[in-house]
Structure formats: C-alpha cells, structure tokens
Amino acid sequence: MHTSKNWISHFKNNAEIQRVNWNLSPTITNREVELILPSLQAWQLAETSEGRDLIAASTKYAAKIGDPLLVDAYKLFIKEEQKHGDELGSYLDKIDKPRVSKSWDDSVFRSVRHLNTSMEAWTLTVLVVESTAQLFYQSLKDATNCQLLRQICTDLLIDEAYHITFQTDRLQVIFEGRSASGKWLRKYLYKLFFYLTATTVWLAHKKIFKAGGNTFKSYTKKMQQKYIKTINRITSPINMQSIELYPKP
Ligand SMILES: [Fe+2]
Ligand SMILES: [Fe+2]
C-alpha cells in the first residue's frame, strides 16, 4: 500500500528514465509487420487516450475521500500511458505505417469508459486491461528480433507492472470500504469481469499472443496467475503500519 505522494514521486522519477535508444533503426521483417500491424495500431490508439473521464472520476472520488493529491497521481499515470502511445506511434512512423483513429476493441472500451463514473469500475477495468497488456507486450517482444521494438516493449512492461500495483492499491481501499455481503458479491463480479475481458483481448489479438509462443491455454493460465496475485492483494486488509514508501511492481 502506498500514499498518493509516493505515487507522484514514482511517476515523476520514472518519467526521467530513458530506456529506449531511438537512434536504432527498425529491423522488423515484412512478414512480422504483416502479422503485428493491426494489433500494434490498436494498442497505440488505446494508449493515447486523453483520460478526461478518468480524471473526472478520480477528482470526484479524491474529494470524497479527502485525498486531493490522488488526482495529481492519476494525471501523471495518464501521462505515462500517453508516453506509451507516443513510443508506439513513433515506431509506426519509423516503419512508415499509419497511426489509426479507430479500432473495434478500442471503441468498445472507450464507450464503456465513457459511461463509467464509478472509481471502482474504472479501476477494475484499467487493472484488467493492464494485466492483458503485460502479456501482449511480452508476446510482441518475443515475436520479433527488432531491437528497437523490443526495447519499447521492455519500457512499457516496466511501466505497466507499476500501473498494476497503482490500481491494486486503489481497489484494495475501495474493497475494504464495502460491507461483508458487498465483498462477497465483488469476489464473483471481479472474477467474471477479469476472465471475460481477458478472453475478449485474446480474441482480438491472438495472432500476437500466438506469435509470442502462447496458446489460449497458456494465456489463460498466465492470466489466472495474475488474477490470483491481484485478488489476494485487493482482498487483504489494509495495514497502515505497512505503508511502503517506494512502490514496487
Ligand atoms: Fe500502457
Ligand atoms: Fe498502464
């Protein structure tokens, strides 16, 4: 568990670290481009969101719990996601492929996000999508020998691991505030949502997951491990004595 102040310093420090050597030229093969392009374009778009709805939801929530710094933490978090969009976009530019402005899975998530003013639903959605993002970027990295793309994936993977801790912290606080029956119900709803979303992402991007050496079975198994780790953290009682100063992935 970490305070908003801890998260602000984490995001600020992380923004100073440059892990990608942009002097490298892409060495991706035409065959690889053909395989990964639609997914790369879709994730580039998904990572580019302005996050206005999330800022609105977090502002309302932060006022309710009396933690104004939380809004700044969310703004920095969104900035880091936009950095992902920029990096993937720069890669598309370098391989002379267009950035897209529409993809079906992004439209689905954007419309859900738009309806979404509850911080709990927001956090859960982002958490699940980021869990699939970890497997996506790992598969993308494993599917290519292009050093530039591999470095971009590594950078994104490092950031996303912290993002998951960031969302888990928030969901743990929200979960702790629920009644016993609310907690019972949520354990089922979280699980259902997690697996439905994970399956949707597999269907949308299975070419990449397979190119990275996964089958639907191994993908589901990895998602299951992530789910267990996450749900154990969310449902464990918060111990204010064990606040860690430096967030860990
Ligand atoms: Fe991201
Ligand atoms: Fe993320």
The pLDDT, as a whole number, for residue 246 is 65
pLDDT tens, residue by residue, 29-47: 999 999 999 999 999 998 9
Task: Please give the average per-residue pLDDT across 106-125, as a whole number.
Answer: 74
- For the chain, the domains span 4-239
- Which ligand sits closest to the CA of 45? 1
CA of 180 to the centre of ligand 2 (A): 30
Contacts of 141-146 with CB under 8 Å at 24 or more apart are 141/212, 142/211, 142/212, 142/213, 143/32, 143/35, 143/36, 143/208, 143/211, 143/212, 144/28, 144/32, 144/36, 145/27, 146/26, 146/27, 146/28, 146/32
Taking only the tens place, the pLDDT of each residue in 185-243 is: 999 999 999 999 999 999 999 999 999 999 999 999 999 999 999 999 999 988 765 66
Measure 106 CA to ligand 1 centroid, in angstroms: 13
pLDDT value of position 51? 84
DSSP the chain: ---HHHHHHHHHHHHT-----TTSPP---HHHHHHHHHHHHHHHHHTT---HHHHHHHHHHHHHHT-THHHHHHHHHHHHHHHHHHHHHHHHHHTT----S--HHHHHHHHHHHH---HHHHHHHHHHHHHHHHHHHHHHHHT---HHHHHHHHHHHHHHHHHHHHHHHHHHHHHHTS-HHHHHHHHHHHHHHHHHHHHHHHHHHHHHHHHTT--HHHHHHHHHHHHHHHHHHHHSPP-GGG--SS---
Q: How many whole angstroms from 249 Cα to the centroid of ligand 2?
A: 12
Question: What is the distance in A from the centroid of ligand 2 to the CA of 130?
Answer: 5
Residue 239 sits at the vertex; the CA angle it makes with 236 and 240, to the nearest 5 degrees, is 145
Superfamily (CATH) of domain 4-239? Ribonucleotide Reductase, subunit A (1.10.620.20)
Counting ligands in written order, the one closest to the CA of 83 is 1
Segment 161-187 shows an average pLDDT of 94
Task: Give the percent of the chain with pLDDT over 90.
Answer: 80
Tens of pLDDT, residue by residue over 237-247, are 887 656 666 66
Ligand nearest to the CA of 167: 2
